[in-house]
Amino acid sequence: MTSARQQISHILDREAVAWGVLVLALLLTLGLWRQSEMEVSRRQHDHFQRIAEKQKNILNSRMHDYEQVLRGGAALFAANGMPSREEWRAYVETLELDKSLPGFLGTGFALMVPKEARYTHERSIRAEGFPQYAIYPEGDREMLSSIVYIEPFTERNQRAFGYDMYSDPVRHEAMERARDTGQPALSRKVTLVQETGTTVQPGFLIYFPVYRTDMPRDTVPARRNALIGFVYSPFRSFDLLNGVFNTPTQLLEIKLFDSVPAPENLLYSSERAGHSAEHVTEMQLHIGGHVWVARFRSSPKFEASEASSQPMVILFGGLALDLLVFSVLYMNAGHRRKMRDAAAKLEQSLDNYKTLVENIPGAVFRSEVGASLPVFQVSQGVQALTGEPPQRFLSGEISYTHLIHPDDRRKVNEAIAAAIARRSAYSIEYRIKASDGFTRWVNERGRVTSDQNGQSRWLDGLVLDVTERKAAEIMIRDLAFNDTLTGLPNRRLLLDRLDRQLATSERTGRHGALLFIDMDNFKMINDTLGHEAGDQVLMEVAHRLIASVRESDTVARLGGDEFVVILDNLGNTADAAAVEAAELGSKILVMLSKPYRLGEHLRNSTPSIGITTFCGHQVTADQLLRRADQAMYKAKSAGRRQLQFYDEDSIAAVRFG
């Protein structure tokens, strides 16, 4: 054994062996250096792709928000019929789109006008105070359109007043697509009629169809027959997209094309002249039934931020290590052990350096499972999220758990405990309170890792700020289901709750009732004191209705001065339900008949109430609404300020003088 060791030592002591080892080590170092360069390049490209995908999603989300605004405009027509010019202006101004969704050039309504109705229509608009109004361009066309509403009614937007978009082939195609599908439709690239002078920008429009509510819309021919017009918005591409992409922190440059990447299809460009990008990708965006192509290029800022010294560290570190090994082999066997230790330490230092130079966005943390100190490592991103520096978390001076909203701590602890038990990943959203007192929504994703013995050792995770997304979700949900003035459920939410109540009634056999309420003389208040006073009356009506019914009942506003109340669990028979509905209706009648204080004025507005009872799915929700509406008109015809039942209900009309 000793002789064999001596022979090996003798071989290693030869200079030729040292040179041979050096050559092999150099080849290995060069190979690792090349592999490192490829890995860095791959990581940079993956990061570039993720940022490009994020930018694409931001644009998609922004365009979806604009579509939702148009849906809201169409809902205004569906709820109230054709709004007046003042009502349309009030609706657009209430949205405050220049603050919540900057980039709108305007929001308008284009009315479809048959050829034979053209001159009647023009005289009608001129009578509203626009003596020069006329549909343009001139021409003999079977069907025309006219922009009758456009807000804000600025000098630029006034150029579009009366314009027949249906006469333009590009706009015509998008309008027909919206009409036939019943969905938002994005036009191809156009030059807007608002454009003049030398600062002409590419433009596009989004249309949303408005149909008659009393006509079917379940087929394409039916939708064509029921069409009234289009709620639409025009956009100047550069004005809109500069707010999305042209920021000082932008890491990517973008060119946006309509359908096919070509110079004539260019909608927007933030590229810098003379810059040759290292990373380029193209992505399609499907918006409003149309396709945009986004070409993303890495910016100089991105390439500078992604530059890594790792390959050069490996190259020069490896060369140094090779020379050290060569020196060890060349000098004597006695130094080999010390050199191996130095090489091991150097390799460990390189591994630690790789970990430190990794650039991961968000607050990244590592905690030891079961350790007394909850946070073992945390990135600088935690300060932007919580307002506290990472050192305070690492020292145990403050605990991240204490920043979690008290109502959310339990579900967070349960999610982490379940992940530890299963040794799996978890993802959860919750609220935290930062040091500035502001409550933020965050998304935490983590994974439990085990050591070589299979024991759970580390909890590694990432915390991201999702406050803006949460706020957008809440805003969209409120716009979809709640009346913006009173906060009551709107028609959409009312029908959903009525369907559920019918299902519950079907299951339990318990009867319910539907009250349709219309405020008498409300138009007089609006006309004499103004819409602001009318809004005060409507909000007070909502408060009195909520105070008059039971907690389990539903109060909703259909629009204007029309309200609906769903009364549930009124008895096992239609007669019993009618009696209880009459009692609750009389209470509402008394409450709503009390005078309304409007500043220094007291005004009266009494209700006319129509009632119909229900049990199960004998009739649909829409039929119930129509029955209650008929009963309400019966109450108005009988003198107002009274209750009337639907004719086919078992209890005769109950009158209150």
Return the CATH number at 579: 3.30.70.270
Confidence of residue 353 (pLDDT cuts 50, 70, 90): very low
Looking at the domain assignment, is residue 164 inside a domain? yes
Q: Which of 337, 322, 344, 342 is nearest to 9 (CA)?
A: 337
Confidence of residue 657 (pLDDT cuts 50, 70, 90): very low
Q: Are residues 342 and 377 in the same domain?
A: no
Q: How far apart are CA 43 and CA 647, in angstroms?
A: 74
Share of the chain above pLDDT 70, in %: 87
Confidence of residue 656 (pLDDT cuts 50, 70, 90): very low
Q: Are residues 528 and 583 in the same domain?
A: yes
Q: What's the CATH code of the domain at 369?
A: 3.30.450.20
| 3-state DSSP of 547-582 | HHCCCCCEEEEEECCEEEEEEEEEECCHHHHHHHHH
Confidence of residue 339 (pLDDT cuts 50, 70, 90): low
Looking at the domain assignment, is residue 54 inside a domain? no
pLDDT digits (tens, 9 = 90+) for 396-439: 788 787 888 888 888 888 888 888 878 788 888 889 888 787 88
Q: Which of 268, 247, 245 is nearest to 257 (CA)?
A: 268
Would the pLDDT of 209 be above 90? Answer: yes
Domain stop point among 433, 451, 472: 472
Q: Are residues 451 and 555 in the same domain?
A: no
486 CB neighbour count, 10 Å cutoff? 21
Would the pLDDT of 210 be above 90? Answer: yes
Would the pLDDT of 352 be above 70? Answer: no
Mean pLDDT, rounded, of the chain: 85
Q: How far apart are CA 653 and CA 657, in angstroms?
A: 13
Would the pLDDT of 288 be above 90? Answer: yes
Would the pLDDT of 350 be above 60? Answer: no
Looking at the domain assignment, is residue 477 inside a domain? no
Looking at the domain assignment, is residue 652 inside a domain? no
Beta bridge partners of 449: 458
Tally of domains in the chain: 5
Would the pLDDT of 243 be above 80? Answer: no
Q: What integer pLDDT is reported at residue 565 of this predicted model?
A: 94
Q: Which amino acid is present at 628?
A: A
Looking at the domain assignment, is residue 72 inside a domain? no
- Please tell me the pTM assigned to this model: 0.47
Q: Are residues 503 and 467 in the same domain?
A: no
Contact (Cβ atoms closer than 8 angstroms) between residue 302 and residue 252: yes
358 CB neighbour count, 10 Å cutoff? 12
Can you read off the two tokens belonging to residue 542? 């909502």
pLDDT digits (tens, 9 = 90+) for 560-588: 899 999 999 898 888 888 999 999 999 99
Identify which has the larger pLDDT, 530 or 184: 184
Q: Are residues 226 and 275 in the same domain?
A: no
Would the pLDDT of 307 be above 50? Answer: yes
Q: Which of 98-112, 249-263, 324-338, 516-530 has the lowest mean pLDDT?
A: 324-338
pLDDT digits (tens, 9 = 90+) for 116-149: 999 999 999 999 999 999 999 998 999 999 999 9
Identify which has the larger pLDDT, 237 or 417: 237
Q: What's the CATH code of the domain at 168?
A: 3.30.450.350
Domain stop point among 453, 472, 491: 472
Q: Which amino acid is present at 320?
A: A
Confidence of residue 461 (pLDDT cuts 50, 70, 90): confident
Q: Are residues 500 and 602 in the same domain?
A: yes
Q: What is the mean pLDDT of residues 499-522?
A: 91
Contact (Cβ atoms closer than 8 angstroms) between residue 255 and residue 266: yes
Rg (CA), the chain: 35
Q: Which of 272-286, 368-382, 413-427, 445-459 has the lowest mean pLDDT?
A: 368-382
Would the pLDDT of 9 be above 90? Answer: no
Q: What integer pLDDT is reported at residue 382 of this predicted model?
A: 83
Q: Which amino acid is present at 174?
A: A
Identify which has the larger pLDDT, 250 or 595: 595
Q: Which of 165, 151, 184 is nearest to 60 (CA)?
A: 184
Confidence of residue 226 (pLDDT cuts 50, 70, 90): very high
pLDDT digits (tens, 9 = 90+) for 160-191: 999 999 999 999 999 999 999 999 999 999 99
Q: Which of 45-49, 275-279, 303-307 has the lowest mean pLDDT?
A: 303-307
Domain stop point among 199, 214, 241: 241
Q: What is the mean pLDDT of residues 34-60?
A: 89
Would the pLDDT of 358 be above 50? Answer: no
Domain interval for residue 513: 482-645
Q: Are residues 20 and 159 in the same domain?
A: no
Contact (Cβ atoms closer than 8 angstroms) between residue 430 and residue 408: yes
Confidence of residue 343 (pLDDT cuts 50, 70, 90): low
Looking at the domain assignment, is residue 67 inside a domain? no
Would the pLDDT of 480 be above 80? Answer: no
Q: Which of 540, 537, 561, 564 is nearest to 553 (CA)?
A: 564
Q: What integer pLDDT is reported at residue 255 of this predicted model?
A: 92
Q: What is the mean pLDDT of residues 472-490?
A: 74
Looking at the domain assignment, is residue 65 inside a domain? no
Q: Are residues 151 and 206 in the same domain?
A: yes
Q: What is the mean pLDDT of residues 299-311?
A: 82
Q: Are residues 498 and 424 in the same domain?
A: no
Q: Are residues 531 and 446 in the same domain?
A: no
User: In degrees to the nearest 10, what's the CA dihedral of 495, 500, 503, 505?
Assistant: -90
Confidence of residue 654 (pLDDT cuts 50, 70, 90): very low
Would the pLDDT of 487 be above 80? Answer: yes
User: In degrees to the nearest 10, what's the CA dihedral of 451, 453, 454, 457?
Assistant: -30
Confidence of residue 356 (pLDDT cuts 50, 70, 90): very low
Looking at the domain assignment, is residue 547 inside a domain? yes
Q: What integer pLDDT is reported at residue 490 of this predicted model?
A: 87
Q: How far apart are CA 108 and CA 92, in angstroms?
A: 9
Q: Are residues 15 and 160 in the same domain?
A: no
Q: Which of 389-393, 447-451, 608-612 has the lowest mean pLDDT?
A: 447-451
Q: Are residues 412 and 538 in the same domain?
A: no
